[in-house]
Amino acid sequence: MKKTGYSITAAMLACALAITGCSDGVKVNVKDYSFDTAGNMFAYAEFELSGEPLAESLGLDLDVLDAGKPDSPTAFDYIAGIESYEYSEEAMYEVVEKSGMGLHLANGPAVADEAKKAGQSPNELLASRFLKMADSVGQPADQIQQNMFPTFIEYAAGDPHYAQKVDTGKYADGENGTYIPNYQVDFSSLRWDRDKMKKQFVPAAYGATMLKQSLWAGDFLGNLHNAESDEEVDASTAAEGQEADQGLKLGVSSVDGMQGMILTEEVWNKLQYVRDNLFYDSSLQGLGALGKNATNVYLPHAIDVEENGDKDYPNVKGLKVNDGSSSLQDQWLMLWPTSEFYGMTDQRKDNPNRNPAFARVFDGDPFPAAPAANTDSDPSNDVVSNDPFTIASDVLLAVFDNIKTRHWNNDAGTLVTSFDGGKQGTAVDTFQAGYTIEALRMFERAIDGLPVGYANGDAAEGLKTAAGAEAKEMIIRQADFILSALINKDGLAVSGYDTAKDEAGQDTTLLAQEGAIRGLTSAFLATEDEKYRDAARHLYAAMDSKLWDNGIKAYKTNGDEASYDAFAAGGVSAMLRLALLHLKNTGSESDAPKALEQSAIQQRYVDFYRQVIDGPSLEEGMQASEFWDTGDFYKEGDDSGNTDGDTVPQIQKGHGDNGISPVLLPVEISK
């Protein structure tokens, strides 16, 4: 993959062509300016996968992309390789390094443990950790961004407007009058208002953030690089022993390797905090740690957080369960990212598919290795440990168990959306059930030792674990339920089902199509059974025929409405990606709908991003603002706040007194 990190290239500072929205009288009005963590991080995870990895898989040479040359070599290539991918990366950093949208990493449990052993304060220990990680990837210490606010766990919602004036003063000169603004290297002016944050721990929110962190960390640390040239090196070619002795460093480059290290540190601390503090026993109505082999506890939907009042390094003073139910959305948005992180940290001796680059990251330096007892094939001898692999394993198996015991209706063969603390609900939500199939697919791959992350489609010989077999059975039965109960006579997916009434719903929302297509395609990838691919193809063709409105260049979301939140937008991104990778016409099918021609799918992709994400004007569209990675450079004497001439403003010129972060906002489309 082409790496970006925070480096600035001359290409990104080049002048850009003017881009205009495809409005034709269509309004894409922002409904409100609040930030939903779960929806945004979910959507940006799908944007990431629909970015460079998708463009490259379709044959694009990523080296030809230039943020300063919009729609080159094609509009699709530019939107996928630049906009979708970079919007995704920058939004993650906004949440986990800049905004303060959670608790400071200095208070993370792994940091606190190490600080106690070292006899240091937590913030001193964290500083030394950053230096150690920088050395492991060859990043000069003076090039680490200043005044970060790294989080170890994130809040549910907030106000994405900046709480103070963004420092756009000149840090360094670029080319042709351009310059690097101070805020690129010093994050102190990028904080959000803590008083406007919804200070709750919601699994879907911190889980979706972890999905972003794990995907990027896996990408950034998935190989080695030459310490002198900074060029990526295939880790499988390195000899045993210290990489430094071979002129190598961890990570695919020094800059991206450092970001991968920070993200990994955040996830490690997050999972340890979750394991040791946030599991809920509904019978006792108490929060606490996940005990060994515990099956009576689960992650509740919402926990209120009382902070300790520390302005610089906020931490928890008290926790109170606000909603003790178990939500399927929470569970799959924890199962998927924990599977990704488990795949990174996997140290099982029987697993032949372990990435050798990851093996070096988790060999004790810079991250602790798991005890030998926890990496053999006998789970009965496992010991308590705070290393990343053991923690990931503990949480992963607990979340999978909760999905099985509280959300799986074995008689009906389907997943239900809720467990109220005492009994299982009866409602099936097509979007949630379909996405849980994908989460189960990732769980099965991780637990069976198959590649995850960007390589989640790669074939390999797995470990064939009992848990993996259980997950695959659930995938098959849930996909069969979609086919038998959730597709109506018009060929569209309905939004849900009531198992008590044995009755399907009537609404054919966009979310329902997204969930069903996601789930059926995931079932095909997990089983290689063509019936699921065929069904997903038919569903996509029906959806495109009945929901696409050419007058507004977007899909209708419910009836005649076209109202998009981040979940709907992320689902469209995923649906179009899956169509391009797995559902498009290949010439071997008996039917070949025009909607599944590659050029037709790519046009939908371009129209959707231009109209719904970017919007027809600077005040419209879901993407609130943008950073230099997508071409909006800073130039002396230019106060336009839109130097690339597109329909997305620079961060300081976006909505609000001080501007707004580069995140997704809900919109309503009308004509």
What integer pLDDT is reported at residue 246 of this predicted model? 94
Model confidence pLDDT, tens digit, residues 412-444: 999 999 999 999 999 999 999 999 999 999 999
Model confidence pLDDT, tens digit, residues 609-662: 999 999 999 999 999 999 889 999 999 999 999 999 999 999 999 999 999 999
Q: Do 365 and 229 form a contact (C-beta atoms < 8 A)?
A: no
pLDDT at 79 over 70: yes
Q: Do 342 and 442 form a contact (C-beta atoms < 8 A)?
A: no
Q: How far apart are CA 334 and CA 205, in angstroms?
A: 9
Q: Give the pair of three-digit tokens for residue 317.
A: 């003073």
507: left (phi over 0), alpha (psi -120 to 50) or beta: beta
- What is the percent of the chain with per-residue pLDDT over 90, rounded to a whole number? 91
Handedness of CA 429, 434, 438, 444 (dihedral sign): positive
pLDDT at 386 over 80: yes
Q: How far apart are CA 661 and CA 35, in angstroms?
A: 10
Q: How far apart are CA 215 and CA 619, in angstroms?
A: 31
Q: How far apart are CA 250 and CA 608, in angstroms?
A: 38
Q: Give the pair of three-digit tokens for residue 452.
A: 């995850």
Average pLDDT score, the chain: 94
**Residue indicated by tokens 């069904």:** 535
Q: Do 38 and 208 form a contact (C-beta atoms < 8 A)?
A: yes
Q: How far apart are CA 152 and CA 272, in angstroms?
A: 10
What integer pLDDT is reported at residue 294 of this predicted model? 77
Q: How far apart are CA 648 and CA 21, in angstroms?
A: 10
Phi and psi for 77 in degrees, rounded to 5? -60, -45
CB atoms within 10 A of CB 175: 12
Q: pLDDT category, 18, cuts 50, 70, 90? A: very low
Q: How far apart are CA 416 and CA 433, in angstroms?
A: 7
pLDDT at 402 over 90: yes
What integer pLDDT is reported at residue 23 of this predicted model? 54
**Prior bond to 366 cis, omega within 30?**
yes
What integer pLDDT is reported at residue 21 of this predicted model? 45
β-strand pairing of 27-30 with 667-670: antiparallel
The amino acid at 537: R
First CA to last CA distance, the chain: 40
pLDDT at 459 over 90: no
pLDDT at 3 over 50: no
Q: Do 141 and 253 form a contact (C-beta atoms < 8 A)?
A: no
Q: How far apart are CA 565 and CA 563, in angstroms?
A: 7
Model confidence pLDDT, tens digit, residues 283-333: 889 999 998 767 889 999 999 999 999 999 999 999 999 999 999 999 999
Contacts of 17 (CB under 8 A, 6+ apart): 69, 70, 71, 645
Q: How far apart are CA 478 and CA 414, in angstroms?
A: 5
pLDDT at 579 over 50: yes
Q: How far apart are CA 46 and CA 85, in angstroms?
A: 9
What integer pLDDT is reported at residue 291 of this predicted model? 83
pLDDT at 381 over 50: yes
